[in-house]
Amino acid sequence: MKIKDYRNTSYKECDFSINSKKADFLVFFSSVHPKAWNVYDHVSVKQNELNYKFREMYYEKCIYCGVSIQVIDSSNFEVDHFIPKEVLKKELPDYDSRYINGIDNLVNSCKSCNRAKSNFICEETSLDLIHPDRNKLHEIYVRENDYSIKIHPEYSTNEMVSKFYRVLKLDSQLKRLDYLIMEMKDFCERYNDRAEIMKLHQLILSIEDKRRRVS
Ligand SMILES: [Zn+2]
């Protein structure tokens, strides 16, 4: 049975597997900056085409909590170094600045998750579970009926999974509200041909407006 991804609503499904997306992105990147190796420096510039194409690979959603551009402005998305730049100061042998600032280490994150994650370093043995591009996050975290995000029981004793959950504050009430707004907006989009949906949509827009004032 296919597992429902906690970052997807009941009405819209995004496939977060990266497949050849990053390789294709690099082809485009190299055509714009043929000699550059520091992808981060160029991709993190807001409002440019590379930044947009980068966010598009992640459906303009935070890869960690799933909040989308339906809820927060594009300026609230950041390019996150999954393995933080901090490791360069620690001179960990497995990482060099080419890897750290390269496309494989960069993911789309909301400001809130990126700040919370900060200098979190994932242990090498847990990379397959935790690195978002390995596409396992939807197996270790699940969306409950009350819209909260929980750790899948199978991983409840995994220390790294629990630690990452706490670090990202995936249990926050704001993340529940974000999901509710996305769920309602996708519902309206699905049934937008019905007159009564328009009223509901107006209500949702007023909730969304209040939410957008929270940074
Ligand atoms: Zn997030």
Confidence (pLDDT) at 214? 81
pLDDT grade for 201, boundaries at 50, 70 and 90: confident
CA distance 84 to 71: 26
Are 134 and 127 spatial neighbours (Cβ–Cβ below 8 Å)? yes
Cα 12 to chain centroid, rounded: 16
Closest CA to 140 of 114, 168, 113: 168
Whole-prediction pTM: 0.93
pLDDT of 192 higher than 90: no
Cα of 109 to ligand 1 centre, how many Å?
Answer: 5
Residue predicted with more confidence, 56 or 192:
56
Cα of 135 to ligand 1 centre, how many Å?
Answer: 16
Locate the DSSP E strands across the chain.
Answer: 77-81, 106-110, 141-143, 149-151
CA distance 215 to 3: 31
Cα of 42 to ligand 1 centre, how many Å?
Answer: 22
Cα of 63 to ligand 1 centre, how many Å?
Answer: 7
Cα of 108 to ligand 1 centre, how many Å?
Answer: 9
Are 215 and 104 spatial neighbours (Cβ–Cβ below 8 Å)? no
CA distance 102 to 94: 14
pLDDT above 70 as % of the chain: 98
Closest CA to 31 of 49, 4, 15: 49
Going from the C-alpha of 176 to that of each of 4, 56, 80, 95, 180, the distances in angstroms are: 17, 23, 22, 35, 6
pLDDT in tens, 6-34: 999 999 999 999 999 999 999 999 999 99
Confidence (pLDDT) at 32? 94
The end-to-end CA distance of the chain, in Å, is: 37
Cα of 66 to ligand 1 centre, how many Å?
Answer: 6
pLDDT in tens, 27-44: 999 999 999 999 999 999
CA distance 160 to 40: 26
Are 60 and 15 spatial neighbours (Cβ–Cβ below 8 Å)? no
